[in-house]
């Protein structure tokens, strides 16, 4: 049973940060794991946009705001993106009868998109 769905798009140009901007934005939005992952990539801004879109898609799927840094984008061994709910958000799946969170992210040079399905 589908318990929720969420979709979000992000323009990658909005995630081209200089060092100071990235540090400030990251403190509010990104987890340490997301920062490490993106910093190893050539087109970091595309990954930052994808992470932001994924976080927003999770919020839409649950139907309410969740603190940005309590939603983490991780990657399984094969590279498939996954969602990790952290801190107070870690209890949300149990409270909302969500057995699994499915995530897909795609990006181009101009746009990133994320789609989330909450499976009950």
Whats the size of the chain, residue-wise? 120
Beta-carbon contacts of 52 under 8 Å, excluding residues fewer than 6 positions away, are: 8, 10, 15, 29, 112
Q: Determine the 3-state secondary structure of 41 from DSSP.
A: coil
CB-facing half-sphere around the CA of 109: CA atoms within 13 A: 0
Give the Cα separation of 16 and 66 in Å (integer).
24
* Residues tagged active-site: 60, 107
Give the Cα separation of 13 and 111 in Å (integer).
8
Give strand pairing partners of 11.
Answer: 111
């Amino acid at each position: 049973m589908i318990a929720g769905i969420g979709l979000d798009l992000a323009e990658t140009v909005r995630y081209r940060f200089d060092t100071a901007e990235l540090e400030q934005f990251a403190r509010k939005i990104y987890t340490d794991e997301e920062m490490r992952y993106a910093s190893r990539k050539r087109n970091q801004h595309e990954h930052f946009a994808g992470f932001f879109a994924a976080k927003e898609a999770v919020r839409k799927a649950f139907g309410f705001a969740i603190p940005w840094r309590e939603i983490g984008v991780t990657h399984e061994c094969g590279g498939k993106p996954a969602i990790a709910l952290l801190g107070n958000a870690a209890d949300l799946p149990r409270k909302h009868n969500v057995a699994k969170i499915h995530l897909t992210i795609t990006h181009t040079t101009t746009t990133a998109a994320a789609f989330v399905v909450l499976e009950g």
